[in-house]
Amino acid sequence: MSKRGVELLVQNDFFDLHVIEEDVVVDLKKTGFPLKSFDMITNQNPRIKIASFPALRKALTEVGNGHKIGYYLPLIEVLVSPDQMKAEVIINLTITEFQEEKHRLLDLIEKSLQYHGIVFGLLDLEEDDLHPGIAIVAAAGQEPVKGEDAKITYIEKPEKKPVIREDGLADYYEMNFVTHVEDGDWLGEKILPTDGIAGKNVFGDIVVALPGTDSKLQFDRKSVVEVEEQGKIVLRALFGGALEFVDDYVSVGKHLIINGDVGPETGSITFDGAVTVYGTVMAGYSVNATGDISIEGNEGVTNAKEICSSEGDVYIKGGVFGGNISLIEASGDMYIKHANNCKLFAKNIHVGLYILGSDVVGQTVLVNKDRGKIIGGRIEALFRIECGYAGNTHERTTHLHAKGIDKDLIYQEIQQMALELKELQKTNGNLETQLSMTGALSDQLRGEQADAYNKLQQTLESGRDRMFELDREIQLGLYKIKTAKAPQIEVAREAYPGVIIQIGSKSSLLNKTAKGVFEVVDKILNV
């Protein structure tokens, strides 16, 4: 809009109020005009915008000309949002003036928007949309649309859990334990992120859209390959084997499949990977593997020497008749139909029917609470033992021991390791000083001096490795203390006389039937 000249707005005995260009100026003739009375003037002249009340106070108390107190707003004021995606207009008129000028305001608004360069997203305003002194949206830009993020899908992660039958009972000997994949099988895919759709601001300028966020496929490059197919990145198995997720990375482990029994025709099995035996492990034979071991035969295992997984889980569909010689061991979890006169060692041990006359050690030992039995033998768990029945009517000795974690002992071990770590830090610091003093001359050392220098370096590296190991053990100990659970034994149906309930160091031999959750409360075993 063109700049204004001089325009007299108000004239009285105290001052002249006028506009010079776009500034509102007071020429004060005499003092005494109340500051609050100036509100009436601004109400009658809505185009006056006071910039500073201190300036207004000064203009009404110091006689003289040229007191700038604010700005003279245009009749149609155009406001553009900081992101330039919205333009608003304010009609700076009194209600009376508004009614008188209403018929031409739409035309004035259009010209004001054109003057300010507002050309895109203009709204079709009508007279009923107009109100004095209120911000009215007159134009809206088109927001950019962010591109779609990458979409990643993996083959369903195998979940090792029992099938739940229609009657609601868990069937621990029907499981999809090892998932076999063939060379080239689909293991996952990524739909690539898309470009966004650009927008426009109210000035008609292009507003760039953000592309979708990319994500990285997580897979083991030694066993899985990514290939581009039909605009997607697809993961495929490099060879046949057992589907694995290691730290959430999809991979294929080596998988040995025995379609019959482990016995005279195969010999005992030792394998770096997963093993699936669709028959059984015959008496005197063994299966040792680094990965998961699955024995699928319905008849179970009788008098096998050992079935041991050094890094995975073990599943025996038909259970074990051990003859007091069979050892079943897993570094992870164990799922077994029943255990009869054998030894079981695993992290979490799940049993479907019973444990009879066996030695069992794990963090948890869980036998079906509705019908599962533990009869005879010794069951030792770090945190929890549960079953339906313990012992029998013949009062066979059955020892259930939930050890718990000795926090005081762990804390003492942590203190000892912390002292060793401190000494190592001091020793390594001295070694680093010695090495740094001779480091620049190390290429010139010969004979015994060179041997001594190399020995110092080896000692330093060995100390660093030990420091790392100690730090890891200290953190693990602190984690154990923090996450330790109170040990419990639960016999849901009936525990018979002859059962020994032991929690930590406190134990009780039952002389009558009992059931429930047994634990130490206020240092007393609640048996």
Predicted confidence (pLDDT) per residue in 66-87, tens digit: 999 999 999 999 999 999 999 9
CA distance 58 to 300: 101
Look up tokens 């002389």; give the residue: 511
Look up tokens 């294929």; give the residue: 252
Give the per-residue pLDDT at 455.
84
Mean pLDDT to the nearest integer, 264-269 = 94
Q: Is the pLDDT of residue 324 over 90?
A: yes
Least confident of 194-208, 357-371, 456-470: 456-470
Give the per-residue pLDDT at 162.
64
Give the per-residue pLDDT at 267.
94
Of residues 428 and 496, more confidence is placed in 496
Average model confidence (pLDDT) across the chain: 90
Q: Is the pLDDT of residue 169 over 50?
A: yes
Q: Is the pLDDT of residue 14 over 90?
A: yes
CA distance 93 to 73: 10
Mean pLDDT to the nearest integer, 348-370 = 94
Contacts 24+ apart (CB under 8 A), 224-227: 224/187, 224/250, 224/251, 224/252
Mean pLDDT to the nearest integer, 437-449 = 68
Least confident of 93-102, 148-157, 474-483: 474-483
CA distance 19 to 26: 9
Q: How confident is the model at residue 453 (pLDDT cuts 50, 70, 90)?
A: confident
Instruction: Return the top range by mean pLDDT from 97-111, 276-290, 398-412.
Output: 276-290
Mean pLDDT to the nearest integer, 149-174 = 72
Mean pLDDT to the nearest integer, 117-145 = 94
Least confident of 239-248, 278-287, 367-376: 239-248
CA distance 209 to 238: 38
Give the per-residue pLDDT at 163.
62
CA distance 67 to 24: 8
CA distance 291 to 327: 17
CA distance 86 to 339: 74
Mean pLDDT to the nearest integer, 235-263 = 91
Mean pLDDT to the nearest integer, 350-355 = 93
**Contact indicator for 201, 138 with CB cutoff of 8 Å:** no
Give the per-residue pLDDT at 443.
65
b (16+ CB within 10 A) / e for 223-254: bbebeeeeeebbbbbbeebbbbeeeeebbbbb
Domain ranges of the chain: 6-72, 76-140, 152-194+219-251, 252-405+487-525, 407-483
CA distance 236 to 184: 5
Nearest to 442, CA basis, from 454, 425, 430, 433:
454
Look up tokens 């979490």; give the residue: 348
Give the per-residue pLDDT at 188.
96
Q: How confident is the model at residue 4 (pLDDT cuts 50, 70, 90)?
A: very low
Mean pLDDT to the nearest integer, 223-230 = 94
Give the per-residue pLDDT at 258.
94
Mean pLDDT to the nearest integer, 182-187 = 94
Nearest to 91, CA basis, from 107, 115, 75, 106:
75
Least confident of 143-147, 391-395, 444-448, 492-496: 444-448
Lookup: tokens for 121: 């997203």
